[in-house]
Chain A
Amino acid sequence: MCLANIAWLLASSGHKTLVVDWDLEAPGLHRFFHPFLPDPELASTDGLIEFLQEYVAEALRPRSAKTHSADWYARTSKLTRYAFSLRRTEFSGGGTLDFVPAGRQDAGYASKVTSFDWERFFTRFGGGLFLQAVREHLRSIYDFVLIDSRTGVSDISGVCTVQMPDELVVAFTYNHQNIKGAAAVVASVVEQRSKGPLIWPVPMRVELAEKSKLETARFAVREAFDRYLTRQTAVDRTAYWGSVEIPHDPYYAFEEVLATFAEKAGVSNSVLGAMERITSWLVQENSTTDQPSKFKWRAPEEEDRLKALDKYARRLAPLTCKLETYPTVVRGEGLCEALPEVVLRFTGGLPVSLGGTPHVMSVTAFVNTTLTSRFIPPDGISVGLVPQAGGKPISGSIKPPGSIRSAGNAVSFPEMVIDPPGVGQETVWWIRGLRANVAERGARSQVVLGDPHISLFVATSGADPVAVQNPQIRLASVRNGFQFQILPEKNGTLPVPISQEKGHNVELFGEREPAALGLSFRVRFEEGFAGAFKTKNQEGSSATTGTRFLVDFSNVPSGVEIFVTESCIDSHASQEGPVLAPVVVYVGSNVAGQRQRRVPPYGPLVQLRSSGGTCNAEWEWNCAAEGTQSGLRACTFGVVLAARPNKAALGIGSISGTLGPVSDLILASEYGPIPRFINVGEPQDVIDVRNADERPASA
């Protein structure tokens, strides 16, 4: 504190001044200057330790004899490269104030300081000479260089008190340990320096109330230090001791603030008054003229002083919010994909219990696609903003569903009240139950460029909104899961060639069940997301809850009949029985009456009814057996084509497949029926009725 104030006074009285924070183990000088620093926390500003490391690194560089010069260290010894200037109007009288911090205050700082080997620096790297070069360089530029030293016994204090100074200001308080310790340091310095340095003992934090103890302490101090005030006469020494005591002022115990801003100039019994007198001694001692003028400094204008003082004042960390989530992967075909919960982590502010006020605000979450959560008042809520306290949900604290408004891609929670948790504490809210139309952002969508993903933006509004540090977060990556494949039979081709003259699978038109019949081709539904296939609900109240497998035939040439297997024919599914059996053809208007043919080994075939060249089949996973619901990831069904001789029209028919229920959507909840899928099917040719002449020979 003493050093920072003296530096300011020197610069304000027209002196070129440099301040070096050499207290590497506990750097703090920058706190006195922080309102005027471009990087107040020194998070990205190098300083003394980097300067010393740079010299060591320079010395470790290989050098060839040819290029080695005696002044190779000259550039690295310029400590001013690490200094930056504090700009103030008070310094306009020719004074400057430059500052070299201890070092970059990042995670690596402690390691740099503790790993710096001072012994090796002096014995192997010529550190003593290097510091002497540094000293000479600084002396050539500045009127005053003030070095803030580590106290007590350390490598650094030796450098700062013995090697570097021309004058040593020894600050101490009026207790036994401090007086004796400071006197011992001075004795040790004087012993190691054959000339100088000039000693300036300064009593700090002097408590004036205890008169008798004060007088005793003053006597002890004079006994310890008078011998070092060699330049003063006895009268001068008395004047010196009477002027340099820095009184104790509890105000300075709470914040690192310069007395030049905390106090008005010209008050003699103040901390600032003492600083002025000490500075005056230093200036007079270093005056180059025979008649030194009285020390005068330019105090800040009252308005500037108050503004600067305001910047020094400790600010309570404001209430802020941070978003967090565990990003997941969602299905690109999904219309109501569940999104991960979002955590709103609030910190800072002054709690109501300590005199703060609660914040009332609206929280709105925007998603970059359509929200498909179902908002059903009063108790069918699927989206909630759930406040938490101490990690446990507050019972009944979910906002009333009626107050939730959804606007396409946004959900809003009005009039949320938060009690600021305070510094170091946190309050957590969760947004839960979000579902979204992922197909809108999926890889199959035409509107998405780059990496498809779902993101969320949170905004707060109202009279007292809370700042959100990271308002946008990524909730999920989008990946397509569904794959529809048409598999030809062994040695078969696609489209399936049908001879108009000869017909195809004519046995199916006979009265008897055919003994054996090959499939024409298979259709396979495959899903990359576990759990995307859902079984029909157990209650059976809704026919839309089980995943359906849909195929649509189009442009089917007239006369071509289409049969499909009633159940899936996957070999693995057959072994598991319960999976195979309940997957049945959806019996609806698309089936040609009750006409079924039993064709080993695939079980019953169902004939589809064609109308205007189109027909479709629809299977539903209707498995009631426990333990089988999660196992289904793929399903294959067989398709058999048939035509009577000379009855089928020439032409090409096609097929597409998708999962159902197919919907354009758009609401769902965790409980109600969920229209889950978009139609992703694209027609592929599977039927080719031709004349014999047109048929390739190989067919």
Chain B
Amino acid sequence: MDRGLREAVDSFGGPDTARFLFVVGTDEDVSDLDCRPGEYGACGSEWKPFAPEMSYTVRWMAQNAASSRQMRYEELSFANDIEKSLHLLSKRNESVIAIVDPSSLAIEQYRVVLEQYDRLQLDNSGIVVFWGMGSDNRNARVGLSESLTRTLPNTRAAHGYSEVQSFDDVTSELVSTLVKVRNRILARADPGSVIEDKRIVDLAGEQGIRVDQKPIIQATRIG
């Protein structure tokens, strides 16, 4: 692999990569559920939670939110070992957002993945639950909400959790969750690189500036 390509590959990762995990069934998975025609697609990211009024897929919404914050959009596949993947992404300091369809939690594989996600409680992860048009029925909504609480005993109280109640909420909720997760990574993660440049150190020394510690104005001297 040439250097340019290697750099391009390496430029992936870090807090500016927004990796989305779609905890959403496919149309095949949800055939037994009471869903509207055309609501689900061949993969989770093709879910249209606000169809037929709004025919946007969750992938489109996630891409939009990521690009509005100048973040790189990536997807996390269910095909991988999810726990292993999440640990790896945590080491790479990537922002991971799970997009959750409460109705799909009736299907075991999605519920299990979300339970694992919740159990790990990683700093780099957040969850956005979409209450689509399919969950308008009040009784169904109560049931789904209880199922969600059972599946996410830890994350619901955490900072990186939000719910989208209508299409109008989509951008604000996704963006605010992305920003929160990114800020948390920036505030807590350890760097993969530090500056090691003797020229800069020497220049600072010539000007009498210490670069190894935070300068502090002594409060005791004031007043």
Contact = CB atoms under 8 A, between A and B. Distances in A.
Interface centre among B16, B92, B193, B208, by most chain A C-beta atoms within 10 angstroms, is B193
Contacts of B3: 67
Which 4 A-B pairs rank lowest in CB-CB distance, beginning with the nearest? A128-B211, A195-B208, A61-B14, A162-B215
B39 to A, nearest CB: 17
Nearest to B6: A67
Contacts of B211: 126, 128-129, 131-132, 163
Contact of A162 (B93, B190, B201, B217): B217
Nearest to A112: B183
A62 B91 CA distance: 8
Given A62-B10, A63-B10, A128-B213, A196 B197 contact: no
B222 A163 contact: no
A59 interface: yes
A161 interface: yes
B204 interface: yes
B193 A72 contact: yes
B158 interface: no
B221 A188 contact: yes
B179 interface: yes
A53 interface: yes
B37 interface: no
Given A115-B186, A192-B215, A128 B194 contact: no
Nearest to A122: B214
B125 to A, nearest CB: 15
B191 A60 contact: yes
A158 B194 contact: no
Which label, helix, strand, loop or mixed, suits the secondary structure of the A interface?
helix
A181 interface: yes
Given A60-B189, A60-B192, A153 B214 contact: no
Nearest to B92: A62
A184 B216 CA distance: 12
Nearest to B185: A60
A518 interface: no
B137 interface: no
B13 to A, nearest CB: 5
A127 interface: yes
A282 interface: no
B187 A158 contact: no
A262 interface: no
Given A60-B15, A117-B187, A451 B222 contact: no
Interface in A76-132: 107-108, 111-112, 115-132
Contact of B208 (A58, A122, A193): A193
Contacts of B139: none
16 contacts: A59-B194, A60-B15, A62-B93, A62-B192, A67-B10, A108-B176, A115-B184, A119-B214, A124-B191, A124-B194, A129-B195, A129-B200, A132-B203, A184-B217, A184-B222, A191-B218
Given A67-B6, A67-B10, A181-B222, A57 B186 contact: yes
A163 B211 CA distance: 8
B203 to A, nearest CB: 6
Contacts of A153: 217, 219, 222
Contacts of A185: 217, 221-222
A197 B39 CA distance: 66
A58 B182 CA distance: 12
Contacts of A120: 187
A166 B206 CA distance: 12
Contact of A59 (B192, B214, B223): B192
B216 to A, nearest CB: 5
B53 interface: yes
Contact of A188 (B192, B203, B218): B218
A480 interface: no
Contacts of A302: none
Contact of A192 (B6, B15, B91, B210): B210
B196 interface: yes
A111 B183 contact: yes
Contacts of B16: 57, 61
A76 to B, nearest CB: 10
Contacts of A125: 191, 194
A194 interface: yes
Contact of A64 (B10, B189, B219): B10
Contacts of A163: 209, 211, 215
B197 A129 contact: yes
B28 interface: no
A34 interface: no
A61 B214 contact: no
B182 to A, nearest CB: 8
A395 B195 CA distance: 74
B207 interface: yes
Interface in A41-77: 53, 56-64, 66-68, 70-73
Contact of A127 (B10, B11, B204, B214): B214
B29 to A, nearest CB: 29
A341 B221 CA distance: 65
Contact of B53 (A61, A131, A157, A451): A451
A152 B222 contact: yes
Contact of B7 (A67, A157, A166): A67
Contacts of B197: 70-71, 129, 133
B212 interface: yes
A53 B206 CA distance: 28
A584 interface: no
B179 A108 contact: yes
A196 B207 contact: yes
A304 interface: no
A123 B216 CA distance: 14
Contact of B214 (A67, A71, A115, A155): A155
A573 interface: no
Contacts of A166: 207
Interface string A146-178: 000000111101110111001000000000010
A118 B15 contact: no
Contacts of A119: 214
A63 B200 contact: no
Given A108-B179, A111-B183, A128-B204, A63 B221 contact: no
A70 B196 contact: yes
A121 B16 CA distance: 18
A57 B207 contact: no
B217 A177 contact: no
Contacts of A71: 197
Given A62-B93, A63-B193, A161 B217 contact: yes
B48 to A, nearest CB: 15
A129 B204 contact: yes
Interface string B1-41: 00100110011011110000000000000000000000000
